[in-house]
């Protein structure tokens, strides 16, 4: 069993760390917030800094919100880099920009250590159930060593390519997820305003070519008005910003991504930064002057 460091114990990091402990590993934990007592009760060891985590562990995992947070965790005062020794592995499982990821990897490599970017998809439910999809960039030797840990946290684990390719894959994933949420929201809102029962429409669509996990899970959230995250709109805004910034750097256009980002922006501007990303439907409802599940007498059937 490995000594594993884990930095970042939020909505995703906490259950991921719990699954590693359940797998028999000794975990060394650090977070800016108070450490979860339930993890400490299960045998995890609290540390006072990323540097302390890196000195204690062979494999150090970071799971924090955005690119600046990763940079601070790795290279800030008392950060991970200060505690590394040759042969250790740093694994960033955050969702951040691919270009800085390559620079972070270079700096860690200069210390004689390997670096993997390994962002995840599957949300809080996938983290709790250890069914995350994990998209990995980095050297195969490090991937092989860390893969048993990945298997305690996820099911679909792929070494995509070199450093940065894991993050590029995650950005592509977030484009698809966002645009599919947008499509499901438009479809269910259209059906509801046309006078159809959106729950039955969703049930019918689940048996056809339009079926998807997003229709299944987030379509139900939209109908039941359950917008507790999940995955917050503000985090999906961040991911689509990465996509749009990357597109500008590559001199290409992502028109549908840009449109969906505007809907997230509208939802956020109306108090929805912390809504689940399925709450994008609320932006469309504002424009339609109609809410899914509104009283039937208020619905306007199509001519």
User: Which residues are catalytically annotated?
Assistant: 170
Per DSSP, the residues of 31-85 read -SSPPPHHHHHTT-EE-SSHHHHHHH-SEEEE--SSHHHHHHHHHSTT-HHHH--
Q: Give the distance, in angstroms, between the CA of residue 254 and the centroid of all CA atoms in the same chain.
A: 20
263: left (phi over 0), alpha (psi -120 to 50) or beta: alpha
Q: Which residues contact 273 (CB under 8 A, 6 or more apart)?
A: 232, 233, 234, 237
At 65, list the tokens.
């919100």
Count of beta carbons in the 10 Å neighbourhood of residue 13: 23
Specify the pairing of strand 45-46 against strand 120-121.
unpaired
CA angle 49, 13, 128 (to 5 degrees): 155
Q: What sign has the CA pseudo-torsion 158, 9, 71, 265?
A: positive
1 class by beta-carbon count within 10 Å (0-12 exposed, 13-18 middle, 19+ buried): exposed
Which ranges of the chain does DSSP label H, i.e. alpha helix?
Answer: 13-22, 37-41, 50-56, 67-75, 80-83, 98-109, 123-129, 140-153, 165-193, 198-205, 213-224, 233-249, 255-267, 281-288
């Amino acid at each position: 069993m490995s000594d594993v460091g884990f930095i970042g114990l939020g909505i995703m990091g906490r259950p991921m760390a719990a699954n590693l402990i359940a797998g028999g590993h000794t975990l060394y934990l650090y977070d800016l917030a108070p450490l979860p007592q339930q993890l400490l009760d299960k045998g995890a060891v609290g540390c006072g800094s990323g540097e302390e985590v890196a000195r204690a562990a062979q494999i150090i995992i970071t799971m924090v919100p955005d690119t600046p947070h990763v940079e601070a965790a790795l290279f800030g005062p008392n950060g991970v880099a200060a505690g590394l020794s040759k042969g250790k592995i740093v694994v960033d499982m955050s969702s951040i920009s691919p270009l800085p990821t390559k620079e972070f990897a270079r700096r860690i490599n200069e210390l004689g250590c390997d670096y993997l970017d390994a962002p995840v998809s599957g949300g809080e439910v996938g983290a709790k159930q250890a069914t995350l999809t994990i998209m990995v960039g980095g050297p195969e030797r490090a991937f092989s060593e860390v893969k048993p840990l990945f298997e305690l946290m996820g099911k679909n684990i792929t070494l995509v390519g070199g450093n940065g390719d894991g993050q590029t894959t995650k950005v592509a994933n977030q484009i698809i997820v966002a645009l599919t949420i947008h499509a499901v929201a438009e479809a269910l809102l259209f059906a509801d305003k046309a006078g159809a029962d959106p729950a039955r429409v969703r049930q019918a669509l689940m048996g056809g070519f339009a079926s998807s996990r997003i229709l299944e899970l987030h379509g139900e959230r939209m109908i039941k008005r359950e917008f507790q995250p999940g995955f917050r709109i503000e985090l999906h805004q961040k991911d689509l910003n990465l996509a749009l910034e990357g597109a500008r750097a590559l001199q290409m256009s992502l028109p549908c991504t840009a449109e969906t980002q505007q809907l997230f922006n509208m939802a956020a501007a109306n108090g929805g930064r912390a809504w689940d990303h399925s709450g994008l439907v609320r932006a469309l409802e504002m424009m339609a002057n109609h809410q899914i599940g509104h009283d039937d007498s208020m619905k306007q059937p199509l001519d």
